[in-house]
A and B are shown apart, each in its own frame.
Chain A
C-alpha cells in the first residue's frame, strides 16, 4: 500500500471525525454539591444565611479560632499576659512584643472580611428587595454588623482601605459605622424593636466619641438603659465558632494567657471586683502551656514560666462577647462630663456604676484623678472584649493617655514599652495586591 493511499484513507476516515465530534459534544458539566454559586445568594431565601455569614465573620475577627482582636489585642493592651503558647491558636511572638508589622496584620484581613460581608450583604439584599429592604427582619441586625465591624476596624487599624481602594485614614471606619448605626436605628425604631434600637444608639454613641462629637455621643448614651447589654453570640458547634478567650484559658490544655502581672489581677485582689474575676491554680503554680515565655523585648529578658492565673470572665466556649452596654454608655457620659469640666459629675457616674457592682467607691479631689478613675472603670468594663486597645489609642490620640492626665497604674502603662505599636498597619497582603496602594 502506498503512503498516499494510506493518507487518503486517513483523511476520509469517518471514525476519526466522529471521534472529534463526539468528544466536542461530550457533556463535561458536573454539578458538584457543597459550595454554592454566587448567583444563588441573590435569592431572598438565602438572605438570612448572608447575614449570618457576616456575623460569623465578625466573630472570627473579634474572638474565634486563632489570632483575633480580642485575644491578641488583650496582650498588647496588657489585659492579660502571655504564658507561653505561640503560633496557632494564640498570638505571635511579634504581637507579644507589640511589634504590629504588616506581616502580623492577618487579623486585619479578617476584620476587612467582616466589614465587606456586612456592607456587601446590604448592597446585595437591597438589590434584591429594593424598597422592601426595611421590611426584612434581618435588615437592622445586618446594618448593626456594618456598624460594629467598622468600629472594630477603626479601633484597631492605623490606616485603612475600602474595597481595594486607596489608603485612607482609619477614621473612615467610624464615619461608615455611624451611618450604618443611624440607618439601623431608623429601621429598628420604625419596627419598634427596642433591643436593636438600643444597640444602634449605644454603637453610635461609641463611634461618636472617636469623631469628637461628645454632645451627640452623650445624647445617644443617655437614651440607653443602664442595664442594657448587646452581645455577639458564640457556639460550640465547631471550634471555629467558639469563644477563643474561653478556649485559650481552659483548665486543661491551653492556658495560653495569665492574669499574672496585670492590673486586672490586682483589681480583683484589691476589690474582689466581679468584673475582673480570676483564680490561681495552686496545683500548678506555673503555666503549663507549650514552652516557656520568650523574650518580650520589655527589658526583662526571657521570662520563663509564668504563673497561671486563669481569667473567669469568659468561662464558656459558647459564651458571648459584649459589644455595647448601658455601663459603657454611662462611662461615655462620664467622659463627656469630664471633658466639659464637670469632674464631680463624672466621678458620681463612676461611683454609681461601682455601687451597682458592689465595689469600693472612688474618691477624688482633682479632675486628673477622675480621669484615672474613668479610664480604669472603662477598661474594667471593657475587659477582654476587644476594646481596650482602641480606647487607649483614643486617649493617646487626644493626649489623655500616658502619665497625665489621669496616670494609669504601672502595670497598665503602655509607655513602659514606648515606641511600640498600638494599631495594626495595612496588611502585607493588602499592600502587595492592591494596585491602588503605592
Chain B
C-alpha cells in the first residue's frame, strides 16, 4: 500500500472514531424523570403541506430545543412540566411563537405553520456590521441564503454559489477536475491586485486565493489551481452572507474592496440528537465543444463519463451547556479524461459551550484531505490534451492513438491537507454590553508533483517537479458593543474593536532530472537536482469604531471608521483610515404608508475599503537568482516608498420591498464606486535596469451598476406552490485616468486604457467576415471589457403533493469578450487540422480557396494570420441545474425522513454564434487571481455537465 492510499485509509478511520465518540456522547441522554414530558410536532409552510426542514425549535427562556427534520418533524425531550412558549425560527421564514403545555410523562403535540418571510427585516446578519445587526438596521445590500432551502446538489462550494446573488459571477475554469473558478462581486475593481473576494468561515479569515500552480517556463505542467473554497463540504453549510463593494465592506479595511463572502457552518442544538446520512452518486459528461465532424476535438477515443460519489454523515444535538455538530464526508470523483480523479475526506466538529452565565464559547474545526490527479494539459510540450488537439503537428508528429497514449504516462498530483480552527467567545458583561473575541487559524499545505518517468516518450531520462506550498493565516478579532436605550424610541449601539491578520506562505520547489533507470523516483533520484524556496509574511491590523442609532425602530443611521496598518505599505505611508456612513428607513412602518404597497425598506450607504499591494512591492529589491552554482543578483523590483493600498469609495442606494402579502419580494441596489489611488503598473525605462513595472497609486477607476432581484410566489396552496425568481445585474467599469502609467498590456489582449473599461480587450477586427475575399482588418480596435457587464438569473420551483419539489436555476452572462488564445496559437503555427479549419482547408487543397470566407482565411490560412485577431463575444446562457426532490414513498426503518433528489447541472447551454469552438467559461490553467484577463487557454477542455442523484436519510 503506497503512502497515498495509506492516508486515504487512515482518515476515514479517524473520522469513524470521531463519529463513534459522538454517538457515545449523544446516547448518554438523561433518563426521563417524573416531572418532565415531551414536545413533538411538525412544521409546515402555512397553507401548504410542505415540511419546513432545519428550523430551530426551542423553548423560550431556556436552551432546550431541537431541529426539524427533512419531513418537518421535531421532538424535544425532558421538558419540565408546565406551560411553555415554543419558538420556531429559520432563515427565510417568519419566526413563530406558540404556546404548549407539557404534562408529566406525556407528549404534547404541536403543529406549527410558518410563513415565508417577505423582507426578513429582523433577520440577524453579522457580515459587514460591527456586531450582530438586524437586517432592518443595515444600510447596504447584503445577500443571505440558506442552502438547505434549495434542493439542488452542488458538486462543490463554487457551484453552490453560482447564480445565487445578483452581482456575483462564478465562472468555472476548465474541464479538468478540481480547477478553481473565478469569483467576482460587482466585477473587477482592481487592475493589478486580486479581485477574488475575501473569504471568512465562522468569523475567521481563510485563504480565498486559489492554491498556486507550479507553472514554470520550461517545466510547465497542468496541476490545476485548486480552490480553498472547495475544501469545505457544502453539506456543512448553514447559511452564507455576501456583501459586495466598498460601501458594505468598510469594516474589513485594507483588503476588502472586492467584497466579502462569509460562510456559517451548521451548529449543534439542544434536544433530540439528529443523525443525517446522505449519499450522492452521479456522473460528469463533456458536452460538444467543437464543430462537426470533430465535436469533441479529436478527444473521443479517450472520453468517458466521470463517475461521482460522495457520502456525508453528520450528527447534531447537545444539551443546554454543550451543543455539537459533527460531520464526515468522503468524496470520490473521476473526470471525463483519463488520469483525472479527486478523492477528498473531511471531518468537522463544531461545539458550543456555555460554561458561565452570559459566556458562550464556540469552537469550530475542520480538517480535509484531498488527493487530486490531473491529465497532462495546459501549455505543455508533453501535454496530452494539447498533443491530441494538435494532431500530427504535436511534438510526437503523430495523431495515432497508440502514440498519443504515451503522453498519458505521466503524473500530475496535488495533495492538499487543510486544517481550520476557530474559537469565538461571546461574553455579555452586562445586559447591554456584549463582547466577542475570535481567534482563528487556517493552514493548508499543497504538495504538487509532476512526474515524467524514466523512458517517457518525450523525456527519455525522466524528470520530477515537486512543489511544497504552505499557507497559514491567523486571525484575532475583537468587538465590544454597548447598547443604550436613550429614550423609549431612541436606541444606540456603540461598537469598537480590532482585527489582526497574519498571513504566511512558503513555497519549496524541487526539480530533478535524469533518472538512472525505471523506478519510482524522488527528487534525490535525479542526477541533476535543483531547489528554490520563497517565503513571505504579511501583517495587517486595524481597529474600528461604529455607532448605530435607531429611532422608532425604523430610522437607522450608522457611522463607522476603520484604521489600518500593514507591513506591505511603503515606509513613507502611514495608517489608512476608511470611513463609512449608512442609513436605512423602514418606510412601510410609517402611518402614511398604504398597506397595499406592502413592506419597504429604503437604504443608502457610503463607505470605503482598500486593496493592499504585495509583500515586496514597496521595496527596491534584487533577486538572488544564482548563476550555475554561484550566487548572482538580478534586479527585481524598483520599489516605491510611498506605496499604499488602493482605496475605493463607493455609494450605494436601494430598497427592499414586498407586496401582495409577501408573495412578491424585490430588492434593488444602484452602486457607484471610484478608486482614486488605483495601483497601476507604471512601466520602467528598460535602459535604466529595472525593467519590470512598478506599482504606483496613480490610477483612477470608476465602477457602477445596478442589482435587482425579484421573487414571485405565483401559486401557493395546500397542494401546489409555484415560485419564480429573476435577477438582473449590470456592471460598467471605466479607467478614468492612467495617471503616470502608459497604456499597459495585461496579457491575453487585455489592456489598461484611459476612458475604456477596466481590462478592455484590444486587437484586430475583421471588417468583412462573411465575404468570399481576403480579410480586411483594422488593428487596435477596442472590443470591450473582459468581465461580464450584464447578468440575468432566472429560477423557478414547484412544490407538489407528496413532498415533491421541482426546481431550475439558470443564468446569462454577457457584454464581455475573450480572446481564443488556443485557436490563435494554432493559427500562428499553421495547424491545418484545427476543426474549424477543416472545411476551408479542403477547399484550398482542391484549388477552391476563393470559395472560403474572409473569416476562414484569417483564422485558418497562415498567409493572413494576424496576432490579436481571435477576440470574440463571450455571452452565454446556462441552465445551472434542474432538480427534482421527493420523499420516498415507503418508510425506512429508524429514519424519520428519507428524500431522493436528482439534479442535472449545466446540461443546457447557449453561446454566441461567434463561438463555434470551445466555450466562454473555459479558461487556461493559470491562477485565477493572477490571470486577470480571462482567455480561452491552450490544452484544456470546457467544464463538463453533471448529473447527480442523492438519497438523504434523517434519523
Measuring CB to CB, which residues of chain A are less than 8 angstroms from any residue of chain B? 1-3, 6, 10, 15-16, 19-20, 22-24, 26, 28-30, 32-38, 40-41, 46, 48-50, 52-53, 55-57, 65-66, 84-89, 93, 108-109, 112-113, 116-117, 120, 161-165, 233, 235-241, 252-254, 284, 286, 288-295, 301-302, 304, 427, 429-430, 432-434
Contact = CB atoms under 8 A, between A and B. Distances in A.
B218 interface: yes
B851 to A, nearest CB: 18
B689 A49 contact: no
Contacts of B831: 290-292
Contact of B619 (A15, A37, A52, A53): A37
B926 to A, nearest CB: 14
A421 to B, nearest CB: 18
B686 A292 contact: no
A432 B105 CA distance: 87
B537 A30 contact: yes
Give me the 10 closest cross-chain CB pairs, A-B, nearest first.
A291-B829, A288-B397, A294-B862, A239-B218, A52-B632, A35-B621, A30-B567, A49-B631, A109-B686, A235-B628
Contacts of B290: none
A294 B830 contact: yes
B689 A120 contact: yes
A48 B632 CA distance: 7
Contacts of A293: 830
Contacts of A6: 484, 486, 492, 494
Contact of A53 (B498, B620, B633): B633
Contact of B826 (A65, A165, A291, A304): A291
B634 interface: yes
B786 to A, nearest CB: 21
Interface string B215-240: 00111000000000000000000000
Nearest to B502: A30
Given A16-B496, A36-B622, 14 more contacts: A24-B575, A28-B566, A32-B536, A37-B621, A38-B620, A65-B218, A112-B687, A117-B635, A161-B687, A233-B628, A239-B217, A252-B395, A254-B381, A294-B828
Nearest to A46: B633
A394 B722 CA distance: 83
B139 interface: no
Interface in B622-641: 622-637, 639
Interface stretch (B78-86, B189-197, B539-547, B646-654): B539-547
Contact of B565 (A26, A84, A240): A26
27 contacts: A1-B486, A19-B498, A20-B563, A23-B542, A34-B533, A35-B616, A35-B622, A37-B621, A48-B630, A49-B632, A53-B632, A84-B829, A93-B865, A113-B689, A117-B634, A120-B689, A164-B685, A238-B218, A252-B460, A291-B829, A292-B829, A294-B828, A294-B863, A295-B863, A432-B742, A433-B683, A433-B684
B161 interface: no
B685 A430 contact: yes
Contact of B635 (A52, A108, A113, A433): A113
Contacts of B684: 433
Contacts of B691: 109, 112-113, 429
Interface in B379-412: 379, 381-382, 390, 393-397
Contacts of A57: 634
Nearest to B490: A3
A344 B541 CA distance: 81
Nearest to B616: A35
Interface in B475-528: 484, 486, 492, 494, 496, 498, 511, 528
B292 interface: no
A10 B395 CA distance: 72
A82 to B, nearest CB: 11
A87 B825 contact: yes
Contacts of A304: 830
B686 A28 contact: no
Given A50-B633, A240-B218, A430 B686 contact: yes
B673 to A, nearest CB: 26
Given A65-B218, A295-B862, A28 B539 contact: yes
A105 B396 CA distance: 32
A50 B625 CA distance: 11
Contacts of B538: 30
B627 A20 contact: no
A235 to B, nearest CB: 4
B217 A434 contact: no
B534 interface: yes
A366 B530 CA distance: 57
Nearest to B620: A38
Contacts of B615: 30, 32
A302 B492 CA distance: 77
B688 A163 contact: yes
Contacts of A84: 393, 829-830
B569 interface: yes
Contacts of A109: 686, 691
A291 B830 contact: yes
Contacts of A37: 619-622
A34 B616 CA distance: 10
Instruction: Determine which residue in B219, B379, B826, B830 has the highest number of CB atoms from chain A within 10 A of its CB, and name it.
Output: B830
B458 interface: yes
Contacts of A120: 689
B687 A33 contact: no
Nearest to A291: B829
Contacts of B541: 23, 26, 28
Given A86-B828, A253-B458, A49 B397 contact: no
B666 interface: no
A19 B496 contact: yes
B832 interface: yes
B537 A41 contact: no
A102 to B, nearest CB: 12
A126 B217 CA distance: 36
Contacts of A252: 395, 458-460
Nearest to A38: B620
B683 A238 contact: no
A238 B530 contact: yes
Nearest to B456: A252
Contacts of A53: 622, 625, 627, 632-634
Interface string B455-477: 00011100000000000000000
B13 interface: no
B635 to A, nearest CB: 7
Given A65-B217, A84-B829, A41 B633 contact: yes
Interface string B574-608: 01000000000000000000000000000000000
B828 A2 contact: no
A89 B538 CA distance: 35
B686 A241 contact: no
Nearest to B528: A236
A15 to B, nearest CB: 7
B545 A16 contact: yes
Contacts of A429: 683, 686, 691
A40 B636 CA distance: 14
B718 interface: no
Contacts of A236: 528
Given A19-B496, A294-B830, A116 B687 contact: yes
Given A26-B541, A38-B622, A85 B575 contact: no
A22 B615 CA distance: 23
B535 interface: yes
Nearest to A288: B397
B267 to A, nearest CB: 31
Contacts of A65: 217-218
Contacts of A434: 685, 687
A386 to B, nearest CB: 19
A56 B632 contact: yes
A288 B567 contact: no
Contact of A286 (B397, B575, B624, B634): B397
Given A57-B634, A233-B628, A34 B537 contact: no
